[in-house]
Amino acid sequence: MHEPASFRIFRWVVVAVLSVFTLVPFYVMLTSAVKPLGDVQGDFHWWPTHATLRPFVDIWSTVPLGRYFLNSLFVCVLSTVFSVIIAIFAAYAVSRFRFRGRNAFTGTVLSTQMFPGILFLLPLFLIFVNIDKSLGFTALYQTRLGLIVTYLTFTLPFSIWMLASYLDGIPRELDEAAKVDGTGDLGALFRIVLPAARPGVIAVAVYAFMTAWGEILFASVMTNDSTKTLSIGLQYYSTQINVYWNQVMAASLVVSVPVVAGFLLLQRYLVAGLTAGAVK
């Protein structure tokens, strides 16, 4: 069945408009990153009159961008690892076993996604501060460990739900066949289920990493000068005297590289993991 010509035209118009809204801001960011500061603050030009790579050199000295980068990488990698590990066991239990409170657990996990993250900011802040007071030293508040725990609170629920939906599409006969051969539940999980669920696991990992990498609300409250992440560090290119817009654009490009590269490399796994539950 052929599509009407009017529908094809409408579709291409929509694609063209969306492309403009996507590519124009990226082009402006890219060209601003290779302009001297005076050109960025003056009249806007679509093409750099004096292209320079100096902003990409200065971003590392204007603010401690390297430290912020390492903090973000440390926090995001560990929160992703913990989120994936916990989600695997929780999703496997929800998908393969029937236990009392199972429906209440899955409903509670899914209902947490209905509330905005700011509602959890004050409770987490009070919990971290009180724990630190009881311990006598700073263990969670304004530490990277506390930020990892914070990110787990809102990446885990969706990770569990998404991975459980994917595991539901894997035939249980595979588990039963493995158990007949003498493999226990954990053996069936690691030898049979996880290899088949690789797209779902990768989708969970990508989701957890991207969520933590770009988060700014909790990082602005739960960190100090030594534990700030990239999303907060980018604000320090703005001073009381000046705003280094060319360095802001250059730093934004640099910090986007890990996420964009990871997404492009794992895109097919991410799409398969997100759509498998709906298709099956």
Q: How many CB atoms within 10 Å of residue 49?
A: 9
So where are the chain's domains?
Answer: 53-279
Residue 189's contacts (CB-CB under 8 Å, 6 or more residues apart) are 88, 89, 92
Q: Which 8-state DSSP code applies to residue 3?
A: P
Residue 1: what pLDDT? 53
**CA angle at residue 36 from 40 to 56, to 5 degrees?**
110
Residue 279: what pLDDT? 43
Burial bucket for residue 183 (CB in 10 Å: 0-12, 13-18, 19+)? middle
Q: Which token pair is 262?
A: 């990871």
Query: Do 193 and 164 contact (CB within 8 A), yes or no?
Result: no
Residue 238: helix, strand or coil by DSSP? strand
Query: Do 175 and 96 contact (CB within 8 A), yes or no?
Result: yes
Residue 271: what pLDDT? 63
Q: Which 8-state DSSP code applies to residue 128?
A: H
Residue 41: what pLDDT? 77
- pTM comes to 0.82
Residue 197: what pLDDT? 85
Residue 171: helix, strand or coil by DSSP? coil
**What's the rounded Cα separation, in Å, for the pair 142 and 150?**
11
CA proximity to 280, closest of 42, 95, 108? 95
Query: Do 50 and 39 contact (CB within 8 A), yes or no?
Result: yes
**CA angle at residue 112 from 156 to 153, to 5 degrees?**
35
Mean pLDDT by 10 residues, the chain (280 residues): 73 90 89 85 77 88 90 94 93 85 81 81 90 86 92 89 85 79 80 85 88 89 90 82 86 84 74 53
**What's the rounded Cα separation, in Å, for the pair 66 and 183?**
47
Residue 280: what pLDDT? 44
Q: Which 8-state DSSP code applies to residue 43?
A: S
> What is the fold of 53-279?
MetI-like fold (1.10.3720)
